[in-house]
Amino acid sequence: MSLKLGDVVPDFTQDSTIGPFHFYEWAGESWVVLFSHPRDFTPVCTTELGAVAALKPEFDRRGVKVAGLSVDPLDSHARWADDIEKSQGHALNFPLIADHDRSVSLALDLIHPGASDTTTVRTVLVIDPARKLRLTLTYPASTGRNFAEILRTVDSLQLTDRHKVATPADWKHGDDVIIVPSVDDEAARALFPAGWDAPLPYLRTVRQPA
């Protein structure tokens, strides 16, 4: 199965550091960030799990649940969690899925044979409350993920779901946004009565809606 943006992410059940992990039941009506790791005790991933633990209040504030996944078994995850807390200063405060039989990795297309026949690539999936895949990022083993960027993309997705806007390059929360082309000027006047700037006829920027 190859998941594409807009596809419904399938339900699954697997072991995890919080006990049996039933994806749909755990996710509830929340947004989800699910990020995979090739295996336990890898140095880059150790720093990433610590970074996400530190940022968890920011994910919580946005109504986002986070979960990690690695193909190693649960007892290995427990030992790795100790290393993460000792080295990164933050204990795991979110589930780490133990995909020991690779069933979840295969269902979510997290094993790329060109990279490895057996281990997951380092992918981030952002999933909305309707279980649809909204964003995917895949990194090489040598490059640590930027979780501040992942928070930024969540901010953009949540904002643009609520309003008829898009976010420009390097946008961050509070910056001006773009009125989407499907909204003509007449409709835009009703939606944005304070007006907008238009450096180009098709590029109309407006203050970020509240």
Q: Which residues are catalytic?
A: 45
Single-letter residue type at 195: G
CA distances from residue 72 to 15, 16, 36, 105, 176 in whole angstroms, order as listed: 11, 11, 11, 12, 44
Beta strand pairing call for 96-98 and 64-70: parallel
User: Kind and range of the H or E element at 159?
Assistant: helix 147-162
CA atoms of 23 and 153, how far apart (whole Å): 22
CA distances from residue 70 to 41, 62, 101, 137, 154 in whole angstroms, order as listed: 10, 25, 10, 16, 23
